[in-house]
Amino acid sequence: MAKIVPVDNGSKRDVVIKSAAAMFRDKGFAATSMRDIAEQLGVEAPSLYNHITSKKEILGEICFGVAKMFIANLKEVESSSSSVLNKIESIIRFHISMMVEEYKSVYISDHEWKHLPEPYLIDFKNQRRNYRSKLAALLQKGIDKGEVNPVNPHVAVLTILSAIGGIDNWQRSSKKIDRKTLEENMVKLLIDGLKK
């Protein structure tokens, strides 16, 4: 579970993880059996263990892989020279992109992390709390500079991240709204609000 590999290097191991991710997202981690994953790949369940060591390891790869990407993006944005509001918008857009392009993995890291075994569970929760704290601090800076509406930064982080996480829901639907419309409207709503 410790090893984090690139998402798409094409190894059989990654194929197994990608396939598992799709099923974990559709049926949930607990309701997906190793036999389900094997069947989708056209092999028998025991064969999967040549590539991974346990079902929970797959979950760990997915959750920590997603966390790593968000943390890396945040670091990059933090070191840029934009205004705070632009930094926040950039982070929002990155989250939206991730939810559009990698929604299966992101959904799992949003909702199925609770099935991680210790000590990975505590590690994941810490990374998550730390990430949100940094976002809240950034928002606070924006408030102090007068760029951001004075609002509780922790509530703002919760609101922003949850709103974006809901794109999973759009992915499940018939997708009549295109990606650009989704992104621009969600950004506008979060930045400018409902009221005209």
Partner DNA sequence: CCTACCGATCGGTAGG
Out of DNA, a second copy, none, which partner does residue 149 contact, by CB within 5 to 8 A per kind?
a second copy
* Cα→Cα distances 162→47, 49, 79, 168, 175, Å: 38, 35, 25, 11, 19
DSSP annotation of 150: -
Of 35-43, 93-101, 147-155, 177-185, the window that binds DNA (rule: CB under 7 A) is: 35-43
Nearer to a second copy, 3 or 196 (CB): 196
Tell me the C-alpha distance between 37 and 35, whole Å: 5
Is 54 among the residues that bind DNA (CB under 7 A)?
yes
Is 39 among the residues that bind DNA (CB under 7 A)?
no
Of the residues 11, 50, 130, 133, which one makes contact with DNA according to CB under 7 A: 50
Out of a second copy, DNA, none, which partner does residue 10 contact, by CB within 5 to 8 A per kind?
none
Tell me the C-alpha distance between 57 and 17, whole Å: 9
Nearer to DNA, 33 or 169 (CB): 33
Tell me the C-alpha distance between 22 and 41, whole Å: 12
Burial of 40 (0-12, 13-18, 19+ CB in 10 A): middle
* Cα→Cα distances 50→7, 12, 61, 71, 130, Å: 19, 10, 16, 31, 35
Is 12 among the residues that bind DNA (CB under 7 A)?
yes
Of the residues 31, 45, 72, 137, which one makes contact with a second copy according to CB under 8 A: 31
Of the residues 5, 27, 75, 76, which one makes contact with a second copy according to CB under 8 A: 27
Is 157 among the residues that bind DNA (CB under 7 A)?
no
Out of DNA, a second copy, none, which partner does residue 54 contact, by CB within 5 to 8 A per kind?
DNA
CA torsion 127→149→179→25, rounded to 10°? Answer: 30
Please give the residues from 136 up to 195 whose contact with a second copy meets the rule CB under 8 A. Answer: 142, 146-152, 154-156, 158-167, 169-170, 176-177, 181-182, 185-186, 188-195
Backbone dihedral region for residue 144 (phi beyond 0: left; psi -120 to 50: alpha; all else: beta)? alpha
Out of DNA, a second copy, none, which partner does residue 49 contact, by CB within 5 to 8 A per kind?
DNA
Interface with DNA by CB under 7 A: which residues?
Answer: 12, 32-36, 38, 41-47, 49-50, 53-56
